[in-house]
């Protein structure tokens, strides 16, 4: 079994889509743990704000198959893939971590580069896996969150949403 961390985000029908996505993940992985939900502004485009969270679970499939499962859930919830990297999303589910693997080929981005770039990824991850170390930097997610720019940190607001 490999511990996997996934990032979830939505800025269209946020509550409905996050609840649907988390239920789909629970159906596959009943012991999944979810971080609290945070509100963040859209990054890279003008659009409605996002709700973001992280899920952590153990799985027995390959990294490529794990990513395929996430894409299947996105597709079932109406995700339309386009050439635009940044844009509004019913649901966005990213494979952030696959154990301590470092995979940057064949469509893989593990550990996801956004972990170190964006508060809306790092904060929920630091709550879900505070003492786990980033596979490349070796620093814990709690430590990485502590070192993140205060300007980035103020862009997040906790949301009272149970998923």
* Residue 64: pLDDT band with limits 50, 70, 90: very high
Residue ranges per domain, the chain? Answer: 2-159
Backbone angles phi, psi at 127, to 5 degrees: -85, -35
The three-point CA angle 156-158-163 to 5° equals: 125
Calculate the alpha carbon distances from 126 to 13, 108, 145 in Å. Answer: 26, 22, 7
| pTM exceeds 0.85 for this model | yes
Helix axes 14-28, 63-76, angle to 10 degrees: 140
Considering the domain 2-159 in this protein, what is its CATH number?
Answer: 3.30.70.560
Q: What is the pLDDT of residues 2-44, one digit of tens each?
A: 999 999 999 999 999 999 999 999 999 999 999 999 999 887 7
pLDDT at 23: 98
Does residue 107 carry a pLDDT above 90?
no
Does residue 65 carry a pLDDT above 80?
yes
Backbone angles phi, psi at 81, to 5 degrees: -85, 130
pLDDT at 103: 96
């Amino acid at each position: 079994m490999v511990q996997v961390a996934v990032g979830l985000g939505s800025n269209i029908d946020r509550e409905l889509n996050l609840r649907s996505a988390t239920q789909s993940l629970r159906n596959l992985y009943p012991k999944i743990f979810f971080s609290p939900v945070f509100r963040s502004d859209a990054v890279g485009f003008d659009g409605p704000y996002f709700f973001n969270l992280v899920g952590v679970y153990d799985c027995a499939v390959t990294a490529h198959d794990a990513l395929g499962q996430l894409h299947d859930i996105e597709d079932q919830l109406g995700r339309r893939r386009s050439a635009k990297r940044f844009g509004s999303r019913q649901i966005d589910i990213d494979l952030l971590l696959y154990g301590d693997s470092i995979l940057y080929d064949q469509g893989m981005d593990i550990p996801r580069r956004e972990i170190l770039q964006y508060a809306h990824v790092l904060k929920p991850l630091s709550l879900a896996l505070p003492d786990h170390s980033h596979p490349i930097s070796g620093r814990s997610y709690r430590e990485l969150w502590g070192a993140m720019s205060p300007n980035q940190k103020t862009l997040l607001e906790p949301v009272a949403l149970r998923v």
